[in-house]
Amino acid sequence: MTDRLRLPLVASLGLALLGFAAGCGGPPQAKVSGTVTLDGKPVENGTISFYPTANSGQTAGGGIVNGQYTMDASPGEMTVLISASKVTGKHKMYDTPDSPTVDTVVELVPDRYNKTSELKVTLKPGVNEGVNFDLTTKKK
């Protein structure tokens, strides 16, 4: 093989290997899924967030629909925050006659699962199925 043909071949192979390595690099990921119930019933609509307890990894969050959630997160120990609200009425945004009306909502999930969360979970790299949260409104 001549040097004239070898250089493009080596360059092409080098770029292909670089692209492959870039696609395989990066921090490990944890694919996490599960269910969220409140007093035995699936949370219809809500949010779930995972925050690293050690200052490593990234925060991840997503939605809960009909009690189910799925997302990508960083592996490691996480504090979990769960929130779900319900519309209970309407109110005026401002104290003026022409003020727009907005929904009045209440948080359904107790603070111990969101604002002052006591929920912890350790995620491993790869698939983490069945990471379920059975919440109650009654204190234990």
Q: Is residue 3 part of a domain?
A: no
Mean of per-residue pLDDT scores for the chain: 85
Q: How far apart are CA 137 and CA 53, in angstroms?
A: 25
Q: Is residue 74 part of a domain?
A: yes
Predicted confidence at residue 140, as pLDDT, reads 65
Q: Output the six-digit token pair for 87.
A: 């519309």
pLDDT at 44 over 60: yes
Q: For residue 121, what is the domain's CATH number?
A: 2.60.40.10
Give the pLDDT confidence of 53-105 residue by residue, as tens digits: 987 789 999 999 999 999 999 999 999 999 999 989 999 999 999 999 999 99
Q: Is residue 21 part of a domain?
A: no
What is the widest separation between alpha-carbon atoms in the chain?
86
Domain that holds residue 72: 28-135
Q: Is residue 7 part of a domain?
A: no
Nearest to 28 by CA among 136, 128, 117, 103: 128
Residue by residue, DSSP assigns 110-132 as: -GGGTTT--EEEEEPSEEE----
Total domains in the chain come to 1
Listed in sequence order, the residues at least 6 apart from 70 whose beta carbon sits closer than 8 Å to its beta carbon are 31, 32, 33, 62
Cα–Cα separations (whole angstroms), residue 23 to 17, 18, 28: 10, 9, 12
More confident residue, 88 or 38: 38
Model confidence, pTM = 0.74
Q: Tell me if 46 sits within 8 A of 36, measured CB to CB.
A: yes
Predicted confidence at residue 1, as pLDDT, reads 52
Predicted confidence at residue 15, as pLDDT, reads 43
Q: Output the six-digit token pair for 9.
A: 């071949």
Predicted confidence at residue 12, as pLDDT, reads 44
Break the chain down into helix, strand, coil percent, rounded to 5: 20, 45, 35
Q: Give the residue-averaged pLDDT of 32-60.
A: 94
Predicted confidence at residue 109, as pLDDT, reads 97
Q: Give the residue-averaged pLDDT of 129-135.
A: 97
pLDDT at 14 over 90: no
